[in-house]
Every structure is written in C-alpha cells, then in structure tokens.
C-alpha cells in the first residue's frame, strides 16, 4: 500500500504568528505505540534539532490505549502499527475534521528462540496453528508476546483469530526470558535484532536466534530482515501509520513529511524497518 500526496508549503513568520502552529512550529502531543519508541524518538530528535520551534511531546503508550485516546479526541495525532478501521475513520470524520493518514514505514515481526532450540524454520501454512498453540512441533513451548495491549498482540489477533500467547511484560523482558529458556519462543519487533542506531543489536542478536518462514509465494525461506519485506515474502509485517486529526496542516503533517523524506526513511532503514519511500520527497518543508 502506498500513500500518494504532495503538499507545497510557503511559511512566513507573520502567518505562523497568526495561526499559532505551522508544520514546523507550535505545540502538540503525539501518541506513539510503545514498541516504536526508539525509532520515533530518533525521528523526533533530528526534526526538533532542525526546527527548534516545533514543540512536540511524544507519549509512548500501548496501541490499544493510544487509539482509544485518539478516538476520544484526547490527542489529535497518533503513530501506530496499523491503519484505522472504517468505523474508526468514520468516528473522526463525524467531528467534521479532515483525517490525514500517512503510511510512513513498515516493520516485520521476528520469531525468536533460544540458540539451542531445534526449531529451524516454520511454514507459512502452519502459522495459524503455531500462533493458536496447535502446531504439534511447538505445542510444548511457551509462546511469548510483550503484553496483551501491544501492537503485535493486536496484529496476531486480527490476522489469526485466537492467539495462545503468554505475556512477558515488555520486549526486553521477553528477550531475556527467551535467551535463558530453551522452551520459550517469542515474537518481537525486528528492530530489537537489527537496530543500528542503538546498542540493542549488539545486546540481543547473539543471545537468541530468529526463525525464518517458508513463503507460500515461492517456497523459499525468508527471515524478518528488511530486504525481504519489499516483496512481502515474509508474512508477518506491520504497516506503520501517522494519523493526523488536527484539521489543518500542523506539526502532525510536518513530522509526517520529515519521516517520508530521504533522511527520515534512512533512519527507518537503519532501525531495520522498511523504507516505503526510497526516492520521492512528497512533502516539501521550507523555512
């Protein structure tokens, strides 16, 4: 899925003063799915350095709570790991507010085990049984997710119906449990294994092993690594959206434009996420 939009901006100090907020100035709160905190903080750090008058407060909470607050109009901008449903979109539109939704990136879900685990791969056709705890080869293992309000749990529930998962408390606790328990299997965002912007890769990559999945498309094994996501041959992929219900071109639109620029997309790639825009720059922000 691609988002096509072109916004040409001319910003004058007098206009910014009258309206109080522009694409690069003002104050707003953005709700962010908790597991995306490192990637979005990286984006915000550079955006705020370039545009010091942009007073963005990031609030990192589980996706379920973030969407509830967004729909209740407690915040006007949200970054989460899915598109809004038609019903959710209608609830925003009912307030006579123009909803802008931008696909900013995508990330895969890695299946991790203890290095000594004899499990070496999974077939895509077996994923439903695996997630529901009915796959014979993995029935005796504990299948872990960070918590029941995480975006991964919501994704698995929407995709597979009835996930049989135990809650580890957080992604860090999950990885620690898998690294110390040969009978545990975990599902984590891929950036916890690939992230080049922090020390997470060095800390986690050699403590666990990632399980590849045999694709239905060509029957080849694919890992959760970013290069395999372009053709969607790895089946566990979440799309990352910024939803903006400010009703005007404010800081939500400005941050979306930055994240879809070459610099913003490069940050996502270094995190292990997929760059949805490799060459285009569709939102132009001028000083």
Query: What pLDDT is stored for residue 9 in this prediction?
Result: 35
Q: What's the helix, strand, coil split of the chain in %, to 5?
A: 35, 25, 40
Distances, alpha carbon 23 to alpha carbons 20, 41, 157, 203, 284, in Å: 11, 18, 36, 37, 10
CA atoms within 13 A on the CB side of 78: 28
Query: What pLDDT is stored for residue 54 in this prediction?
Result: 95
* pTM score, whole prediction: 0.87
Query: What pLDDT is stored for residue 21 in this prediction?
Result: 79
Query: What pLDDT is stored for residue 68 in this prediction?
Result: 96
Distance of CA 140 to the CA centre of its chain: 30
Query: What pLDDT is stored for residue 247 in this prediction?
Result: 87
Judge contact between 271 and 96, C-beta under 8 A: no
Domain 7-106+239-284: CATH architecture, name and number where available? 3-Layer(aba) Sandwich (3.40)
Query: What pLDDT is stored for residue 230 in this prediction?
Result: 66
The tens place of each residue's pLDDT in the chain, 287 residues long, gives: 333 333 323 232 333 333 567 999 999 999 999 999 999 999 999 999 999 999 999 999 999 999 999 999 999 999 999 999 999 999 999 999 999 999 999 999 999 999 999 999 999 999 999 999 999 999 999 999 998 888 999 999 999 988 999 999 999 999 999 999 999 999 999 999 999 888 898 889 899 999 999 998 889 999 998 676 666 789 999 999 999 999 888 999 999 999 999 999 999 999 999 988 864 444 444 44
Q: Which CATH superfamily is domain 108-237 in?
A: Periplasmic binding protein-like II (3.40.190.10)
Instruction: Give me the helix-helix angle, 37-50 and 251-259, nearest 10°.
Output: 110
Query: What pLDDT is stored for residue 197 in this prediction?
Result: 86
Q: Where are the domains of the chain?
A: 7-106+239-284, 108-237
Domains 7-106+239-284 and 108-237 share a fold: yes
Query: What pLDDT is stored for residue 286 in this prediction?
Result: 41
Query: What pLDDT is stored for residue 284 in this prediction?
Result: 41
């Amino acid at each position: 899925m691609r988002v096509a939009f072109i916004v040409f901006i001319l910003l004058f100090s007098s206009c910014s003063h009258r309206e109080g907020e522009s694409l690069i100035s003002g104050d707003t709160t953005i709700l962010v799915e908790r597991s995306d905190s490192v990637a979005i903080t990286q984006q915000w750090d550079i955006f705020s350095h370039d545009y010091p008058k942009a007073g963005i407060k990031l609030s990192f909470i589980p996706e379920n709570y973030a969407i509830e607050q967004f729909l209740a109009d407690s915040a006007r901008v949200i970054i989460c790991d899915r598109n809004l449903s038609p019903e959710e979109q209608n609830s925003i539109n009912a307030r006579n507010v123009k909803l802008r939704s931008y696909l900013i990136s995508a990330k895969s879900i890695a299946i991790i085990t203890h290095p000594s685990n004899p499990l070496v791969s999974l077939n895509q056709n077996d994923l439903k049984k695996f997630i529901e705890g009915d796959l014979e080869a993995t029935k005796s293992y504990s299948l872990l997710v960070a918590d029941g309000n995480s975006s991964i749990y919501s994704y698995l529930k929407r995709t597979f119906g009835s996930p049989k998962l135990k809650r580890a408390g957080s992604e860090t606790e999950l990885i620690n449990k898998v690294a110390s328990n040969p009978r545990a299997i975990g599902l984590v965002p891929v950036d916890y294994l690939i992230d080049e912007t922090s020390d997470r890769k060095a800390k986690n990559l050699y403590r666990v092993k990632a399980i590849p999945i045999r694709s239905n498309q060509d029957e080849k094994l694919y890992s959760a690594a970013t290069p395999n996501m372009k053709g969607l041959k790895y089946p566990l992929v979440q799309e990352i959206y910024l939803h903006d219900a400010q009703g005007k071109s404010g800081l939500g639109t400005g941050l979306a434009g930055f994240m879809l620029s070459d610099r913003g997309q490069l940050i996502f790639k270094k995190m292990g996420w997929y760059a949805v825009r490799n060459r285009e720059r569709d939102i132009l922000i001028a000083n």
